[in-house]
């Protein structure tokens, strides 16, 4: 009799655990249905299959017109993540031109805003051999994952909306991408400045590869500094233009270097002038706008093409006519960057004597207009949004100091 009562109590206890738990015991295990690859952080063509408990295999799709270029791994876990430790084995069988694990770290988040770095396990150089991600036990049910420190088009829209409220910021919609998303140019200057517009320096910053998100956060850091009290004098003395992302369709598809037409975004400049027939749709819109600025009373002084590659931030300059004449030699800017960079987030500024390819967005404008241009690479080893933004502060603060004297 006592044994029967004991068994009865055990059964009651087990049932209570199952039915009083928010999801029940069985629901804690993740399934393929919990993963979404077509949201704000997406990966077009990705497939997923279950290998074991909370263990899955993902095979990546390829970029438009490039079967050997993988789309980057990005996804959302919609539900059931809490309490689980996820293992993902990731493969791409098309080639190794741009590996999904080229950078040692990617990022995950509970809200798509605050990101945590996660390291790839194998560092293999062949995508077909695969690599693995081992996540810690999740504390929430919903999880986002993205390449580098990802920035979605929705993130861009939210930030642009916030920045537009500042009296010294103006948002220009240059047109729409082929996917119907806005291409924004943010202009920052003090309209009440005592300095005439045609006496101010004009800085231009743009991102041509939609999957190089660390470079986008670098520009976000520049913008935040400019719009702060610390940037007030720079706003009086300069005009600043930012194209945070030229190909806004990229993040939702995992496209690393291209838009829908499959042309490498940094091989899309037309040095003989914007050409609607020969250029990708988005590149034509942005170059046409740049040419309008160059023909205005406030032409661009220096243009920065923002990218992500290995190591820390690496600026490489083609020197324009203001350096060493109206202003000190370019080495003055190099020294200012060094002084403003106690954490050594930026390599010493270097110069290139001659442009090698005029279809690049740093070389092309230098040849077409004779202005200072910078290929700003690096930041692949910077693993957090905060440090990427801090690198942008270093650059913007240094530019403000170097270009302090009015034309």
Written as one string, the DSSP assignment of 261-276 is T--BGGG---TT---T
Burial of residue 93 (CB within 10 Å: 0-12, 13-18, 19+) is exposed
Model pLDDT, residue 307: 98
| 21 pLDDT more than 80 | no
Closest of 244, 83, 94 to residue 157, by C-alpha: 244
- Higher-confidence residue of 15 and 45: namely 45
pLDDT higher than threshold 80 for residue 24: no
Burial class for 22, CB neighbours closer than 10 Å (0-12, 13-18, 19+) = exposed
Element (H, E) at 390: helix 385-402
pLDDT tier, 91 (very low <50, low <70, confident <90, very high otherwise): very high
Give the residue-averaged pLDDT of 301-318.
98
Task: Determine the Cα–Cα distance for residues 46 and 255; give it in Å rounded to an integer.
Answer: 12
- Tell me what pLDDT residue 407 has: 86
Q: What is the pLDDT of residues 268-307, one digit of tens each?
A: 999 999 999 999 999 999 999 999 999 999 999 999 999 9
CATH number of 26-146: 2.60.40.3120
Q: 153-402: what fold?
A: Aminopeptidase (3.40.630)
pLDDT confidence tier of residue 192, bands split at 50, 70 and 90: very high
> In which region does residue 126 sit, left (phi positive, over 0), alpha (psi from -120 to 50) or beta (all else)?
beta
List 327's β-bridge partners, or say none: 323
**The pLDDT of residue 60:** 98
* Interacting residues of 12 by C-beta distance below 8 A, sequence separation 6+: none
The model's confidence at residue 372, banded by pLDDT at 50, 70 and 90, is: very high
Task: Read off the tokens for 170.
Answer: 């103006």
More confident call, 13 vs 138: 138
376-to-177, 261, 314, 361, 392 alpha-carbon distances in Å: 24, 25, 6, 11, 11
| pLDDT exceeds 90 at position 406 | no
- Please provide the distance, in angstroms rounded to a whole number, between the alpha carbons at the two ends of the chain: 98
**What are the E-state strand segments in 96-200?**
105-109, 116-119, 131-134, 143-146, 169-176, 182-188
Sole residue written with tokens 């992500």: 308
CA distance 126 to 70: 12
Extents of the domains making up the chain? 26-146, 153-402
Q: What is the mean pLDDT of residues 9-38?
A: 62
Question: CA–CA separation, 151 vs 217, rounded Å?
Answer: 8
Please state, in angstroms and rounded to a whole number, the distance separating the CA atoms of residues 279 and 174.
16
Across 11-15, 29-33, 339-343, least confident range = 11-15
Locate 362 and state its tokens.
Answer: 């740093």
DSSP state of 137: P
Q: Which residues make Cβ contacts (< 8 Å) with residue 229, sequence separation at least 6?
A: none
């Amino acid at each position: 009799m006592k044994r029967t009562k004991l068994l009865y109590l055990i059964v009651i206890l087990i049932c209570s655990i199952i039915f009083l738990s928010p999801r029940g015991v069985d629901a804690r295990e993740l399934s393929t249905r919990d993963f979404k690859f077509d949201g704000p952080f997406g990966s077009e063509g990705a497939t997923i299959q279950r290998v074991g408990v909370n263990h899955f295999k993902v095979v990546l799709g390829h970029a438009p017109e490039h079967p050997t270029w993988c789309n980057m791994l990005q996804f959302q876990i919609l539900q059931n993540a809490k309490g689980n430790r996820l293992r993902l084995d990731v493969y791409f069988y098309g080639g190794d031109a741009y590996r999904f694990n080229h950078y040692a770290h990617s990022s995950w988040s509970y809200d798509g805003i605050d990101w945590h770095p996660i390291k790839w396990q194998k560092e293999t150089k062949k995508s077909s051999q695969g690599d693995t991600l081992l996540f810690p036990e999740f504390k929430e049910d919903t999880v986002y994952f993205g390449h580098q420190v990802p920035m979605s088009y929705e993130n861009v829209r939210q930030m642009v909306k916030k920045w537009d409220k500042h009296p010294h910021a103006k948002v220009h919609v240059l047109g729409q991408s082929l996917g119907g998303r806005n291409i924004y140019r943010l202009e920052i200057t003090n309209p009440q400045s005592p300095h005439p517009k045609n006496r101010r320096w004009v800085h231009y910053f743009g991102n041509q590869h939609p999957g190089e998100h660390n470079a986008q956060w670098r520009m976000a850091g520049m913008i935040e500094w400019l719009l702060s009290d610390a940037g007030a004098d720079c706003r009086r003395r300069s005009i600043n233009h930012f194209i945070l992302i030229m190909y806004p369709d990229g993040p939702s598809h995992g496209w690393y270097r291209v838009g829908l037409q499959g042309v490498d975004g940094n091989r899309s400049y037309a040095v003989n002038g914007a050409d609607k027939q020969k250029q990708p749709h988005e590149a034509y819109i942005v170059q046409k706008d740049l040419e309008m600025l160059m023909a205005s009373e406030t032409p661009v002084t220096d243009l920065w093409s923002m990218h992500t590659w290995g190591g820390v931030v690496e600026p490489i300059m083609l020197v324009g006519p203001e350096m060493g004449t109206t202003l000190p030699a370019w080495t003055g800017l190099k020294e200012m960057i060094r002084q403003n960079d106690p954490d050594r987030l930026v390599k010493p500024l270097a110069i290139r004597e001659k442009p090698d390819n005029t279809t690049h967005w740093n070389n092309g404008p230098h040849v077409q207009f004779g202005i200072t241009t910078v290929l700003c690479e690096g930041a692949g080893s910077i693993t957090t949004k905060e440090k990427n933004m801090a690198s942008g502060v270093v650059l913007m603060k240094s530019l403000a100091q170097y270009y302090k004297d009015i034309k």
